[in-house]
Chain A
């Protein structure tokens, strides 16, 4: 039986506008999504800002009531059995908030241990284990207000694991932390999955999803636009090769011509400081590099590279098409 079953889950918000003549237009944040997560799986929910990732997680941890559809966590219904779900799931979100600044890490963890009914005789040992796991040994007695963002994030992880949750929801946990911290975090998450914890992770970072997730659902504008393993997503959406050309000057004018070239599937431009990176997706076997360079001939060109499509290419393709 899947640990997480989501069926046509929907959530609408009422947005307030105006002071005197108040209107309350409805915003559909999640528009009927479906997915399942098996025990011990690390499932990624990937999408741009405002796609509905956090709303989905907040419904699954019972902080928001769905506007429609249903979901079951460990067999418990999201609406009817909220209390049972809360006992069994952990929630960690990214950023600076969510901790008692004037208390030490130890006091924060002691308090949440009580809230999650960790037996008194186990608390000390469990907290010490987690402090060690997240690398805060020696700093646990200091007030959180003096912690760096990375330390706070690690404390968040420890808090979320206090009651040994069967399912862990990680909402952009690596946001704002340095590359070393992010790598340690990924290792911690991978270890948890090895130990049997089911994890649902939301992230913006493609490499993170690619490295960690068994399966990924790409969500855009409240809908799941693709679902599968990272390699399935790459294959299913992006075939062929990617040619990247660094351009100095206005590349926009040349894009129409590039798109018309035979063998070109799509063209996009990314700003890279003073330069622009023209990303051209081409069919397998199409020899169009020289034609592309000819089209961009009026511009000063920098680095030209050809590579295999990445998950990021698949993601951009899926999200732009949504």
Chain B
């Protein structure tokens, strides 16, 4: 089996399926603008220019997270509903390799959301993101989208065993905004929250994008983000095997 080929084809077909619903497509384009507009209106009242840039970055990552979190588990639930989940599990391809293209397709939509939000901020609200280190900024954006897709991967894997796992993504959507410091600095959160934040790769991703947007070098944050994301990927992969076995034991693969 050629893993890159499988992931590439899976990603392309996922994008194809998503692009064929005009409603989904329009929602993916418009949704990030709503986040961004709300955030820009709130932060424009008396905030410094650097705070506005940080808010723009935060709003853009909110879009990425929302694109992935709410849809990752739902998409596996969709496979269950259309009767393809059993066929996927019955194939010799390990489940993680099947789930990865699904979450990567969402990350790609999330990446669009990130760029669209920043452009919306630039042209509609005049928020200029300084790109002193464009490469560092681009890498930070891609790594952040990947880190979010890894979280989506873990959420999606749980949907193989639990029918209601889609609700987990929805339940986590707002807490992650807060814990990862999308809009408010981590320093104002209670002390006990901070270790939780550090355990989530997206915290480091957001920090990297913010640092790069404000003209700093984000490499340390990018490295930590990648390491934490790799740990999540490993956990998700191990979990996938366990959850498939549990689903086979409890006969939940065909339950809708």
CB-CB under 8 A for A107 and B245, given A97-B82, A99-B82, A100-B82:
no
What 0/1 readout, one digit per residue, does chain B (86-102) give for beta carbons within 8 Å of chain A? 11111111000010000
Residues B82 and A114 in contact, CB atoms below 8 Å apart: no
For the complex of A and B, list the 6 residue pairs with the smallest distance between their C-beta atoms, beginning with the closest.
A97-B83, A98-B83, A115-B91, A117-B1, A86-B92, A87-B92
The answer for the CA separation of A51 and B158 in the assembled complex, in Å, is 31
- Are B6 and A100 in contact (CB-based, < 8 A)? no
Give 11 pairs: A residue, B residue, CB < 8 Å, sorted on A.
Answer: A58-B86, A62-B90, A62-B248, A63-B89, A63-B253, A65-B248, A102-B21, A103-B16, A114-B10, A116-B92, A117-B1
Contact A120 B5 (CB under 8 A): yes
Determine if A101 is an interface residue (Cβ-Cβ < 8 Å): yes
A13 within 8 A of partner (CB): yes
B48 within 8 A of A: no
A57 to B251, CA, bound (A): 13
Contacts of A117 in B (CB 8 A): 1, 92-93
Interface bracket on A: 20 to 34
Query: How many angstroms from the CA of A14 to the CA of B254 in the assembled complex?
Result: 14
B-side contacts of A315, CB under 8 Å: none
Give every chain A residue within 8 A of B45 (Cβ-Cβ).
Answer: none
Is B82 touching A83 in the complex (CB atoms < 8 A)? Answer: no
Interface residues of B in 1-44 (CB under 8 A from A): 1-2, 5-6, 9-10, 13, 16-17, 20-21
B residues whose Cβ falls under 8 Å from a Cβ of A: 1-2, 5-6, 9-10, 13, 16-17, 20-21, 82-84, 86-93, 98, 245, 248-251, 253-254
Q: Does A207 contact B (CB under 8 A)?
A: no
Complex alpha-carbon distance, A230 and B6, angstroms? 44
Q: Closest B residue to A59 by CB, please name it.
A: B248
Residues of A with C-beta under 8 A to B21: 102
Chain B proximity mask over A86-101: 1 for CB below 8 Å, otherwise 0: 1100010101011111
> Is A111 interfacial (CB 8 A cutoff)?
yes
**Distance of A112 Cα from B245 Cα, bound (Å):** 22
CA–CA, A111 to B14, complex, Å?
11
Is B17 touching A91 in the complex (CB atoms < 8 A)? no
Residues of B near A65 (CB, < 8 A) are: 245, 248-249
> Can you name the residue of chain A whose Cβ is closest to the Cβ of B81?
A97
**Majority SS at the chain B contact face:** helix
- Which chain B residues border A242 with CB–CB below 8 Å? none
Further 9 A-B residue pairs, CB within 8 A, beyond A62-B248, A103-B13: A63-B86, A63-B248, A86-B92, A98-B83, A98-B86, A98-B87, A102-B21, A117-B1, A117-B93
Q: How long is the Cα–Cα vector from A159 to B84 in the complex, in angstroms?
A: 12
Q: Does the CB pair B91–A116 fall under 8 Å?
A: yes
Contact, CB under 8 Å: A99 / B92: no
A95 to B2 Cα, complex, angstroms: 31
A312 CA / B218 CA spacing, docked (Å): 74
Residue among A87, A101, A102, A159 having the largest count of chain B Cβ atoms under 10 Å: A102
Tell me whether B250 and A14 are in contact (CB under 8 A).
yes
Given contacts A61-B90, A65-B248, contact A98 B6 (CB under 8 A): no
Complex CA gap A116/B1 in Å reads 8
* Closest CB in chain A relative to B90 CB, distance in Å: 5
Chain B residues near A99 (CB, 8 Å)? 82-84
Report how far A100 CA is from B88 CA in the complex, Å: 12
Q: A110-B9, A114-B6 are in contact. Are A91 and B90 (CB under 8 A)?
A: yes
Within 8 A of B (CB), among A226-265: none
Interchain CA distance A58-B17 in the complex, whole Å: 28
Complex Cα gap A171–B10 (Å): 27
A98-B82, A100-B13, A102-B20 known; A114-B5 Cβ under 8 A: yes
CA distance A65 to B244 in the complex (A): 11
Given contacts A63-B253, A114-B5, A115-B6, contact A103 B91 (CB under 8 A): no
Q: Tell me the minimal C-beta distance from A56 to chain B in angstroms.
A: 13
A297 to chain B, nearest CB (A): 52
Q: In the complex, what distance in Å separates the CA atom of A159 from the CA atom of B91?
A: 11
B6: min CB distance to chain A, Å: 5
Q: How far is the CB of B254 from the nearest CB of chain A, in Å? A: 8
Report yes or no: B92 in contact with A111, Cβ–Cβ below 8 A: no
Task: Evaluate whether A112 and B90 lie within 8 angstroms (CB atoms) in the complex, with A65-B249, A99-B84, A100-B82 already known.
Answer: no
Q: Check A286 for interface membership: any CB of B closer than 8 A.
A: no
A304 at the interface (CB under 8 A from B): no
Q: How far is the CA of A240 from the CA of B20 in the complex (A)?
A: 61
| A291 at interface by CB-CB < 8 Å | no
CA distance A103 to B16 in the complex (A): 8
CB of A64 within 8 Å of the partner chain:
yes
Docked Cα-Cα span, A236 to B89, in Å, equals 41
Please, how many angstroms separate the alpha-carbon atoms of A114 and B94 in the complex? 12
Given known pairs A61-B90, A63-B90, the reply for A103 and B84 (CB within 8 Å) is no
Q: Note all chain A residues with C-beta closer than 8 A to B2.
A: 114, 120
Q: Is the CB–CB distance between B87 and A91 below 8 Å?
A: yes
Query: Residues of B contacting A112 with CB < 8 Å?
Result: 87, 91
Residues in A neighbouring B88, C-beta threshold 8 A: 115
Q: With CB as the reference atom, state the residue of chain A lying closest to B250.
A: A14
Q: Which of B87, B88, B250, B251 has the largest number of chain A CB atoms within 10 A?
A: B87
Given the interface contacts A97-B83, A100-B13, does A115 sit within 8 Å of B251 by beta carbon? Answer: no
